[in-house]
Amino acid sequence: MPNDQHGDLTIDVRQYGARGDGVHDDTDAIQQAFTAASQGHLGATVVLPPGAYKISGTLTLADATGLVVRGSGGRTRLEWAGDATAPLLQLASVQHSRFEDFSINTSSAAPLAIGIRMMTAPGTLFVSRHNVFRQLNLDGTNGGLGRGVQIGGGVDANNDFHRFDDCTVSNYSYAAFTLENTQIYELLFDNCLAVAWDDAPSSAAVRAFAGNFHWRGGGAGSHTDADFVIWGSDNAFDSVENATFEGSNRFVRTMGPSGAFLGLRLESCRWAGNGLNADGIAINYQYPGPLAIRGCHFDSDPARELVIEWNPGGLPAVRNFMFEGNYVRAASLRFFGYAPTLQQCTTIVSE
């Protein structure tokens, strides 16, 4: 049975028969530990000791608050051996919980659609909010991972205020993170790294179908669609700052009706577009604004033109566009759809 340590209920998955030897199927044992930890809707701490835990089906934590799931860094691996369409970890109406120091691993030999799905389930006591993910590593060798983290599914209700600290998602074929509920507010990605599988047909670090996010520090790269693919919505005001991006076809691509709202701030970033798309468009933005690009370094092919495309279906108000203090290394810089005045643009273009 679980032990009461220092006044907190702490559950070691080995108490329920998990072996972590990479051979024995540990799915049922870990699920039993998760179920015990969430009894009475109040969470306990689940410990995943060092080991390779074979997982053949979705692990679910449901309708609970205050959970902690803790591994031992890179020595704790959840290795997927299940259905190609399922998530490995599903958090259904879980809030105020922490998930830290473990990895989720798969490959093209055992494809995994979603590493972690975070959703609000119907008929539950809680909504999904205020969860923290720290020092997680999700990897899908040769594109074996589709989505790293899906924020959405279930009912379209609150799924907000989540935080990702020092997390790495790599070798995915679609996206590191997807935002799929309209009521997603203030997601924070702090010092995270997202690097796609090189041969993915259409990949992105973040695909925000709705809601809003802030990316701070860290970086991303190798995306064949764009580092950020964003749909406009009423509550969308996104920011990307103090980060480095390398080897992607585009920096930002927007989707959705041109009249929708989307506020976007790009600040103090370096974008090295050695994989720049043939049309030269690094940023495609099709909303009325506001759009602010400040203090960024665009390091592209010096023999090619770099394009920032603003096509909102009509010229926006001047005050909605700021392009200030940026350095662009390219043959030339062109604004397509709307050209800022010199007062708005302090850009250095070098050969």
Q: Which amino acid is at 301?
A: D
Does residue 25 fall inside a structural domain? Answer: yes
**DSSP at 289:** -
pLDDT at 6 over 50: no
The mean pLDDT of 213-220, rounded to a whole number, is: 98
The 10s digit of each residue's pLDDT in 59-69 is 999 999 999 99
Query: What is the C-alpha end-to-end distance of the chain, expressed in Å?
Result: 68
pLDDT at 350 over 80: no
The mean pLDDT of 260-276, rounded to a whole number, is: 89
Cα 181 to Cα 322: distance, rounded to the nearest angstrom: 29
pLDDT at 345 over 80: no
The mean pLDDT of 44-67, rounded to a whole number, is: 97
Query: Tokens for 205?
Result: 């670090």
Q: Strand 237-241 and strand 132-134: pairing? A: unpaired
Burial class (CB in 10 A: 0-12, 13-18, 19+), 304: middle
Does residue 83 fall inside a structural domain? Answer: yes
Provide the sign of the torsion angle of the four alpha carbons 183, 58, 101, 150, taken in this order: negative
More confident call, 299 vs 214: 214
171: closest CA among 230, 215, 110, 231?
110
The mean pLDDT of 113-139, rounded to a whole number, is: 93
More confident call, 349 vs 261: 261
Mean pLDDT score across all residues of the chain: 89
Task: Give the model's pLDDT for residue 312.
Answer: 56
User: Which residues fall within 8 angstroms of residue 240, CB to CB, at 6 or more apart?
Assistant: 214, 215, 228, 265, 266, 267, 269
Domain count, the chain: 1
Highest mean pLDDT among 7-11, 230-234, 295-299, 304-308: 295-299
pLDDT at 216 over 50: yes
CATH number of the CATH domain containing 74:
2.160.20.10
Range of the domain at 103: 10-248
pLDDT at 4 over 60: no
Does residue 26 fall inside a structural domain? Answer: yes
The 10s digit of each residue's pLDDT in 134-148 is 999 999 999 999 999
The 10s digit of each residue's pLDDT in 57-101 is 999 999 999 999 999 999 999 999 999 999 999 999 999 999 999
Cα 125 to Cα 41: distance, rounded to the nearest angstrom: 8
Does residue 72 fall inside a structural domain? Answer: yes
Q: Cβ of 131: how many Cβ atoms within 10 Å?
A: 22
How much of the chain exceeds pLDDT 90, in percent? 66
pLDDT at 319 over 60: no
pLDDT at 235 over 80: no
pLDDT at 298 over 50: yes
The mean pLDDT of 273-285, rounded to a whole number, is: 88
**DSSP at 261:** -
More confident call, 351 vs 15: 15
Does residue 306 fall inside a structural domain? Answer: no
Quote the Cα angle for 246-249-252, to 5°: 85
Does residue 282 fall inside a structural domain? Answer: no
Does residue 106 fall inside a structural domain? Answer: yes
Does residue 226 fall inside a structural domain? Answer: yes
Task: Give the model's pLDDT for residue 148.
Answer: 99
Task: Give the model's pLDDT for residue 90.
Answer: 97
